[in-house]
Amino acid sequence: MSPLRSFIALAIALLPIAPASARTVYRCIRDGTVSLATAPEPGSQCFAKELDDDAAALPNLWGQMGVFHGTLYKREQDGRTVYSTRNLPGSTPVLGFTVATPPGSPAHAGLGKVGTPRMDAFPREFKAAAKKTGVDEAWLRAIAHAESYFDPRAASDKGARGVMQLMPETIADYGVKDPFDAKQSILAGAKLLKSLWTRYEGDRVLAAAAYNAGAGAVAQYNGVPPYVETREYVAKVQALHARYRKAMKLPPLPDQLAPAQ
C-alpha cells in the first residue's frame, strides 16, 4: 500500500463511525498550505472528496509536492473528534507520516517571453475581468503575457486566437463573438481560469497546465503532462505571476502549495 493510501486508510480507520463503502475527506487550503481533514477546517477553504473504501487506487489529494513528512492531529470540533494534518488550536498529535506524491515539475512555449511586466496593456479590461470573476489580476496578466504578449491579433498554428489565445471550443463555450476583441478575449480567459482554479482547488500549476494542454491531458497524466511546451509554459507563468504581483505591489505567493504543519 502506498504512503498516501496508508495515511488516508489510517485516518479513515481512526474515525469512530459505522462502516461505510465511501468516506469524505476534506482538502483544505490556507495561506499557501494544504491539509487533509475529516471535517472542514475553520479559517480554511475546504473541498470535499468522496473516497471509495473499495477502490483499487485512491486519488492524489495533495497535489505536486514530492516527498514530505507530516503529522496527523486530532481535536474536538462541534462536539466530535476531527482528524487533520494541520496543527490547529486544541490539536493533539496522533502519529507521523510520510507521503510521496506524483513527481511534479513547474514547467508551453507560448508567444510571450519572461520579461518586464506590461501594466500598460488593456488596464481597464484586465481589472474589470478580474473583479467580475474573482481571478487574481496578476495571474490573469501572467497568462496573457505568456500566451500572446498582449497581442489581440495573435494566432497560433494550433488554432488559438487573441490576447488569451482562446481555442475554438473555449470561444464557443463562453459565447465569444470575436476572439480578436481584447475585452471579450480577456473576460473569457478569466472565466476559464476561474473554472480551472476551482476544478484544481487552488492549484495554479495544474490550472496553468490545463489552460495550456487541456484538462483531459492533466487527468491522463494525473498532473502536469510530460510535454516540453507545457512544462516550459507553466514555469514561465509562475515566473511572470511573481513579477506581476511585485509590479502591482502585492505580497509574494509561494511557488506552490506546501503541506500544512
- For residue 228, the model assigns a pLDDT of 77
- For residue 30, the model assigns a pLDDT of 84
7 burial (CB, 10 Å; 0-12 / 13-18 / 19+) is buried
Q: Which residue has the higher pLDDT, 232 or 58?
A: 232
Give the bridge partners for 96, in sequence order. 71
Mean pLDDT of 242-251: 92
Read off the pLDDT band of 16 (50, 70, 90).
very low
Q: Indicate if the pLDDT at residue 2 is higher than 70.
A: no
- pLDDT digit string, tens, across residues 90-146: 999 998 888 765 543 333 466 778 889 999 999 999 999 999 999 999 999 999 999
- For residue 100, the model assigns a pLDDT of 65
- For residue 66, the model assigns a pLDDT of 59
Mean pLDDT of 238-250: 93
- Residue 58 is given by DSSP the state -
Cα–Cα–Cα angle for 31, 246, 251, nearest 5°? 25
The span from the CA of 98 to the CA of 22, in Å, is 24
- For residue 237, the model assigns a pLDDT of 93
- For residue 232, the model assigns a pLDDT of 86
Q: Which residue has the higher pLDDT, 223 or 248?
A: 248
| Residue 127 φ/ψ, nearest 5 degrees | -65, -45
- For residue 65, the model assigns a pLDDT of 60
Q: Phi/psi zone of residue 63: left (φ > 0), alpha (ψ -120 to 50 degrees), beta?
A: left
Q: Indicate if the pLDDT at residue 253 is higher than 60.
A: yes
* Cα dihedral 124→167→230→205 (10° resolution): 50
Identified catalytic residue from 147, 169, 201, 229? 147
- For residue 3, the model assigns a pLDDT of 39
Cα–Cα–Cα angle for 64, 160, 141, nearest 5°? 60
- pLDDT digit string, tens, across residues 162-213: 999 998 888 888 889 999 999 999 999 999 999 999 999 889 999 999 999 8
Active-site residue flag, 201: no
- pLDDT digit string, tens, across residues 33-86: 888 898 999 998 888 887 765 554 456 677 656 567 889 999 999 898 999 999
- pLDDT digit string, tens, across residues 23-46: 788 888 888 788 889 899 999 888
The span from the CA of 37 to the CA of 248, in Å, is 35
Q: Which residue has the higher pLDDT, 148 or 259?
A: 148
